[in-house]
Structure 1
């Protein structure tokens, strides 16, 4: 596994969306394991994992099987995106210009930015409530501001600090969740721990989808955290460290949520169940999860800021912002989210998260197009200079093949969707199971490959310009 090209990288990240040159590459590929393992041991995946037994009424065994299947499948897509980082040396969203064109990529970048902002705002609300639960004298609004400031400081410092915190967090949170499992399994408070719920195909498929979509939600920014690694880091090493870290950390959190709610009386809120089930160590567990929320939420702020910078740079193409610009934009986003989170009702934030879940439907075809283009068509070779040109260089302002495949990829998912805003007829027929992401991937991938490779003009672009590198 390759190590850093330089050992004196600055603490505060100086690059934003620009290409990271070889002399500024640093870090070790194993850092990707700790980043995605530590970042996924947090309240939000715990609450999500509990839905398999709470909402879909699976028993523990079938709930765990569904969770593992979903994360193992979805993690493949997420890790394939991560492996692009060292090869390209640029953020994931700006790389989308190579598939969609300089203007064609704007929609996807905007959607990703909105998703990050939604997750950031929701997580600071969760942080505020968690802090209030630990220290009653701290009002929720004050906790929201404290959580936002903590995430903001981490996000502004940037890439290197995020990795350092997650190296520490992996050990602390990893040990904490293992101890938590041990306590719960030796202090079960219910008689139906193993028998509550049963297997049902719709609930099982819905839980698989929840886990898979959890992984896919990272796809638009996962390579942002591998792009500083030296270009000679093997693709396989980047893939496996990311895959194992994310799949293992997420699976542990999902299963922890399921175990906690089954070990406590029916009807309890998941985090209340965690606090009750972990008994004497409950307050410590909540403190650890609170710190995890603050640390992990920095990734959402970081991703939102890079997406906003990408949007602006599309029109101000001579501008490659500095660390100061990134800090200013981070503060603006942070203040806006604090204002919305403190002033809005819980229902408003809930509806905002519902909208974010709908946005995932339009990210699935993007994932398919990006991966097919990178691995099957361009084979990791891109003209970095063209990506930063206002007219898209050899990639143009629009790529009709990508946009057509993208539109069809969204359309075919509609009958299979099950979101808070819309339930498709097929999903309704199979008791609410959401298979839209599977259909989106299966249709978009071959369709885009066929459209792109049959176009002679597109094939000529594969060999044009100075190539960035290869697989």
Structure 2
């Protein structure tokens, strides 16, 4: 029973490189990414642009590598963790992933509702945040429940439409705040460049614990990897830069008022709502898949519905003003976790695992858990005591290197 739930047969692996490009483009067209770009305004023009581009290059590398595990073996992200951490060790990771995905669902719905409130008030003199939360949350839940059979078609239509709207928004921003003006804005020193870099890298890393949930449906590993990398890199960088430019032009870290002030109106309204749905459904579906790693007998659609409703309800209470802290939490948990997973798969196991053995393997791997904890400590030390340096890459490599070192030491 568990094998049927977790392993995707070859007959169901029907997504192409283009499908993955559009899937991750849809994930990246998000008001949350535009908003995160606004957080970098204090870095100045060149500092912000470099943080966005370098952060996405650094973050997309592990994102794409994590997807390779899924496409090569037809397994989900949380199930793939069993190779390094053991069966019950993967349950710990699944627990944290469920928390972060519920948090992301709530954050996306809240940001959408706040933005739609501002826009609808400007356009129609009407505001109702509770209504917008329900529309965004329930719409994302329905989208998640239709299943991978239909995603490829609805994503193609939605992303082309959203992309066209974002082109219009970008054009208007550049007309109102030309490059000649933006490039002369300098950093004010209130945010270290490395801290801004960690904010950027946390965004692609936040998708790492679920990338294999979708790459397991790939026809071909190479095309899926390329589609994932370029789809997310290109569009996420674009969304960050759009929010960054809006905030530079207005001097506010929240780009939403800038969108309203520039008269986007119905375009902004459509981008905010539909981009939230095309992004948030990924969080909802993967929350269900992570839960099924622990309880494989639960029906997929039931779990999807349950967590979609749960994330929507959570949106009514979630402290969205702690968004930046939430990004750091994601980085500190999942960067060292996947440092261990990636080093284990690509270096220690040389991309060779026995999937059926993972169904019945030992309960947990203490060495992997120790390496994960060590990487978490490294992240916190760099973030809190060495803010001029990035916490992300030291955490990733230290956890992976510590894992390999412990494995070699035990063998002796």
TM-score normalised over the length of structure 1: 0.80
Q: Does the 8 A contact of 1:132 with 1:143 survive in 2? A: yes
Contact (CA 8 Å) 1:127, 1:294: kept in 2 or not?
no
Equivalence for 2:274 = 291
The alpha carbon displacement at 1:189 in A equals 9.0
Q: Aligned to 2:183, what secondary structure does the other structure show?
A: coil
Measured in 2, the distance between the counterparts of 1:253 and 1:37 equals: 10
1:269 correspondence with 2:254: yes
Matched, 1:24 2:12: yes
> Aligned in 2, Cα 1:397/1:75: closer, same or farther, shift over 3 Å?
same
Map 1:459-470 onto structure 2 (within 5 A): none
Distance apart, 1:16 and its partner CA: 8.4
Q: Give the aligned length.
A: 406
SS in 2 for 1:327: helix
The superposition leaves residues 177-213 of structure 1 with CA deviations (integer Å, 9 ceiling, x where unpaired) of 2222211211239995332323869632222221111
- Please say if residues 101 and 287 of structure 2, whose CA atoms lie closer than 8 Å, have aligned partners that are also in contact: yes
Higher deviation after alignment, 183-192 or 162-171: 183-192
CA distance in 2, matches of 1:400, 1:454: 13
**Deviation per residue, 1:239-285 (Å, 9 max, x gap):** 22211111111100000011112223x337311112223x2x44313
Deviation at 1:29, TM superposition (A): 2.2
2:70 aligned with 1:85? yes
Query: Counterpart in 1 of 2:229?
Result: 243
The corresponding residue for 1:58 is 43
User: What are the equivalent positions in structure 2 for 1:130-141 lying under 5 Å apart?
Assistant: 130-136=115-121, 137=126, 139-141=128-130
Distance 2:153 2:142 in 1: 14
Distance 1:269 1:398, change over 3 A: closer
Could you report, residue by residue, the CA deviation over 1:417-454 in whole angstroms, capped at 9, with x for unpaired residues?
Answer: 2xxxxxx2223xx4xx6x22122112112221232345
Query: How far, CA to CA, are the matches of 2:331 and 2:50 in structure 1?
Result: 23
Instruction: Say yes or no: does 1:49 pair with 2:23.
Output: no
Deviation at 1:138, TM superposition (A): 5.4
Q: Larger % of helix: which?
A: 2
Query: RMSD of the alignment, in Å?
Result: 2.5
Partner of 2:386: 426
The residue aligned with 1:445 is 400
- Distance (whole Å) between structure 1 residues aligned to residue 386 and residue 11 of structure 2: 53
- Tell me the residue number matched to 1:462: none
Cα distance between partner residues in 2 of 1:302 and 1:88: 20
> Corresponding residue for 2:371?
405
Cα deviation, residue 353, structure 1:
7.2
Compute the displacement of 1:238 (Å): 2.6
Preserved CA contact (<8 Å) 1:70 1:209: yes
Q: Deviations over 1:367-396 (max 9, x none)?
A: 11111111112222222222223xx2xxx1
| Contact 1:37 1:250 (C-alpha < 8 Å) held by counterparts | yes
Q: How far apart, CA to CA, are the structure 2 residues paired with 1:228 and 1:58?
A: 40
Question: TM-score, normalised on structure 2?
Answer: 0.91
**Offset at residue 140 of structure 1 (A):** 0.9
- Match in the other structure for 1:154: 143
Compared with structure 1, are the counterparts of its residues 27 and 268 closer, same or farther at alpha carbon in structure 2 (3 Å cutoff)? Answer: closer
Kindly state the Cα deviation for residue 92 of structure 1 after the two structures are TM-superposed: 0.6
Instruction: Please tell me whether Structure 1 or Structure 2 has the larger radius of gyration of its CA atoms.
Output: 1
1:172 aligns with 2:161: yes
- The 1:414–1:134 alpha-carbon spacing in structure 2 relative to 1, beyond 3 Å, is closer
Residue pair 1:130, 1:290 contacting (<8 A) in 2 also: no
> Are the equivalent residues in 1 in contact too, given 2:336–2:376 (CA < 8 A)?
yes
The unaligned stretches of length 5 or more in structure 2 are: none
- Unpaired segments ≥5 residues, structure 1: 1-14, 314-318, 418-423, 458-471
2:40 partner SS = helix
Deviation at 1:159, TM superposition (A): 2.3
Alignment of 1:103-118 (within 5 A): 103-118=88-103
Higher relative contact order (CA 8 A, sep 6+): 2
Matches within 5 A, 1:209-288: 209-230=198-219, 233=220, 235-264=221-250, 266-267=251-252, 269-277=254-262, 279=263, 281-288=264-271
Aligned to 1:6: none
Q: Distance in 1 between matches of 2:118 and 2:375?
A: 43
For 1:180 and 1:128, the matched residues in 2 are separated by 20
Distance change (3 Å), C-alpha of 1:47 and 1:16: farther
Name 1:11's counterpart in structure 2: none
